[in-house]
């Protein structure tokens, strides 16, 4: 099965618990359809580079999974129907990634982003 990386953005006024619940729901769809979750990451509340749907921030979540294509299509369909999901993108990867993604890694060793992380 191919490896997919899905990042979706949820509305800013959602609580952290709600975002995690959404992540669980989508992960469950992938596993129910025969997939395997390799990694999930909460990037927290990030400021957009430009305004989307009149909002300037959103919760970013990454799900990396090894699952059949129909599962991803189903998950994307549900994301499209969910108004709390502002944006989503799934990308097929050549190989599973190791370690946290660049966004998260940046927070750890860079002072400039530290304050932003606390807000999230």
Sites of contact with another protein (CB under 8 A): 7, 9, 12-13, 15-16, 45-50, 52, 56-58, 60, 87, 89, 91, 101-103, 106, 113, 115-116, 119
Of 33 and 52, the one with the shorter C-beta distance to another protein is 52
Q: In the beta sheet, which residues pair with residue 5?
A: 64, 91
Of 83 and 102, the one with the shorter C-beta distance to another protein is 102
**Nearest distance from C-beta of residue 90 to another protein, angstroms:** 11
Bin 12: left if φ > 0, else alpha if -120 < ψ < 50, else beta.
alpha
Q: DSSP E strands: which ranges in 1-120?
A: 3-11, 36-52, 55-66, 85-93
Of 19 and 71, the one with the shorter C-beta distance to another protein is 19
By C-alpha distance, which of 2, 1, 61 is closest to 27? Answer: 61
**Nearest distance from C-beta of residue 71 to another protein, angstroms:** 21
Of 24 and 56, the one with the shorter C-beta distance to another protein is 56
What distance in Å separates the CA atoms of residue 77 and residue 98, rounded to the nearest whole number? 28
**Nearest distance from C-beta of residue 101 to another protein, angstroms:** 5
């Amino acid at each position: 099965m191919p490896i997919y990386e899905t990042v979706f953005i949820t509305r800013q006024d959602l609580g952290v618990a709600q975002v995690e619940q959404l992540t669980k729901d989508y992960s469950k769809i992938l596993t129910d359809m025969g997939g395997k979750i390799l990694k999930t990451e909460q990037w927290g509340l990030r400021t957009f580079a430009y305004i989307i749907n009149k909002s300037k921030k959103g919760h970013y979540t990454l799900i990396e999974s090894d699952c059949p294509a129909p599962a991803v299509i189903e998950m994307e369909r549900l994301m499209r129907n969910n108004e709390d999901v502002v944006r989503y993108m799934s990308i097929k990867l050549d190989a599973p990634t190791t370690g946290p993604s660049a966004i998260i890694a940046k927070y750890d060793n860079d002072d400039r982003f530290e304050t932003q992380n606390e807000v999230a």
